[in-house]
Amino acid sequence: MTEDQNLIQWIYSSKNEQELEERYDQWASNYEKNMAEDFGWFGPPESVDAAVKYVSKDARILDAGAGTGLVGQLLNEQGYQKLVAMDLSEGMLEQARQKHVYGEFHQMVMGETLDFPTDSFDAAISSGVLTVGHAPASSLHELVRVVRSGGHIIFTLRPDLYEDGGFKEVQTGLESDGKWKLVEMGDPKQVLPKGEPDVLHQVWVYEVTS
């Protein structure tokens, strides 16, 4: 990290997936403290609120880009018990293990084929992962494949990436192909109000239809 960079810029400036993985591995043990204290991160509650609204408590849920397990912790507090953590970074997954709320842990990369059977989840949730230099728009295809018809996919997305990051094309393409339908789209909200006030996230909820 250079002197004039903060941790978020350091993460965003990763040159490739391997560097991103290494940086998250390095950051993992201080991630929650830094995100809360330095950036005022409140990302997960909104995605979890959406899950509570649409996903039944006995659902098997994939937490895609689970990080240190903040989403799993909140889901578990709401009574969800069949939680599967997946992340690029083993270091982040190691922190998630310490939450004792997930039944499975998988090191996988969104954007590549996921090593899960088709229709093997009732829902997928991805908070703070569809962002600059992280999971690409194409990763939504695999989330649709692994979630059964009638299940839900909940994710946060930066509004600027909707247009510029190829998400609009993928999201509307999946809709016109009859793969999913839009259930809810939240308002853009600041998620890193302290350190990065320009970063906005929007919660999207889709129902898988095929």
DSSP code of residue 80: -
143 binds ligand SAM (CB under 6 A): no
- The number of CA neighbours under 13 Å toward the Cβ of 198 is 4
Q: What angle do CA 118, 63, 9 make, to 5 degrees?
A: 125
**Cα three-residue angle 207-200-132, rounded to 5 degrees:** 85
Interactions with ligand SAM, residue window 58-97 (CB under 6 A): 65-67, 70-71, 87-89, 92
Angle of helix 31-39 relative to helix 90-97, nearest 10 degrees? 90
Nearer to ligand SAM, 28 or 174 (CB): 28
Total number of residues that touch ligand SAM (CB under 6 A): 21
Q: Does 151 bind ligand SAM (CB under 6 A)?
A: no
Count CB-CB contacts under 10 A for residue 109: 16
Residue whose CB is nearest to ligand SAM in the complex, by number: 67
Which residue(s) pair with 82 in the sheet?
60
Stretch that binds ligand SAM, among 53-61, 76-84, 107-115, 192-200 (CB under 6 A): 107-115
CB of 176 to ligand SAM, least distance (A): 25
Q: Which residues bind ligand SAM (CB under 6 A)?
A: 20, 24, 43-44, 65-67, 70-71, 87-89, 92, 109-111, 127-129, 134-135
